[in-house]
A and B are shown apart, each in its own frame.
Chain A
Amino acid sequence: MRTLELTVNNHPGVMSHVCGLFARRSFNVEGILCMPVGDGRRSRIWLRVNEDARLEQMIKQLQKLEDVLAVRPHGADHAVFVGLEEFFRA
């Protein structure tokens, strides 16, 4: 597992752009979190994805999206999803 941190413009189409990119390459997104940051003009999207040979290509494609301002890859153990686990017990 890897965790990706995206800084994006905050408008109604952005989630569609980001999720569509993964969906049409049949690359599963295991976890997703999104909240506005600062004055609300930007949002941060956290994605939990599988480690995969295609991940590097996915990151390049994310960086090409006009509304994606930055992509920062983190390890799987990043605290953002770990802290959420209690809300996702079966």
Chain B
Amino acid sequence: MTSSTLLSIITFVYGLSAFIYIFSWVFKKPEVARLATWTAAIGFIGHAAGIIWRWNESYGLGIGHAPLSNLYESLIFFAFSLTLIYLIIEYKYRNQIIGAFIMPLAFLTMAYASLSPSVSNHIQPLIPALKSNWLIAHVIACFIGYSAFAVAFGLSLMYLIKQREVDPPAGGSGWLELFPGKQALDELTHQMVMFGFIFLTAGIITGAVWANSAWGRYWGWDPKETWSLITWLVYAALLHARVRWDWRGKRSAYLSVLGFAAVMVTYFFVNYLPGLHSYGSS
């Protein structure tokens, strides 16, 4: 067995957890959600072990490096920080419905990493430009930021669903009965956006410092850099929109969805454009 086998198993654990969260939401059985939480937590521990194991394996191959150097490893780390942030939120806010919107994202990410034939799970040696501690800081900061934005995205979807409910049925028999309140969803989204913003800022900055130490320029308008800036600008606009018009609520939720779309482009689609960051492609 190798670390990638373990990580494929984790994929199914997360899938199971996501399924139970959704089941508990749709069939209004809050008591089974506990099971989902335990499943996610056990999966998370195995996930952490898988990452450390892979790290160790790379040393066994004589090309030791942190497992953050290609698309497979970045997807694994993304799902890892996403699950971590989710579990912390569940612990802090004691609401298990949110899991029905976040754990599927973690499951899909892991499934894409483990099952897609276009994502190679080989441990590859580092090419010279990637040998840098700034790079490790860069990747960690970016992916924590992306995960926070992913959680914000899930919460915004919940908000948008919730706000369509005109008249909550008396006695609370609707699907949305166990949802957090609109204001709570909105504030939690904002928290996640702030959290993501500071990490994305740190990610862009460490990336700039890395580029400066490798190529002698901190900014070169390559497509990946530019898209991370676009993402950053959208979230900066969202932060200001809340200041200016007290844009809490619907419009703020739409901007958060737009911001997450920019994250997806930065992460996946930029690799189809020319530029220096092509190492992310496989």
| A in complex with B | no
Q: Which A residues contact B (CB, under 8 angstroms)? A: none
Q: Which B residues contact A (CB, under 8 angstroms)? A: none
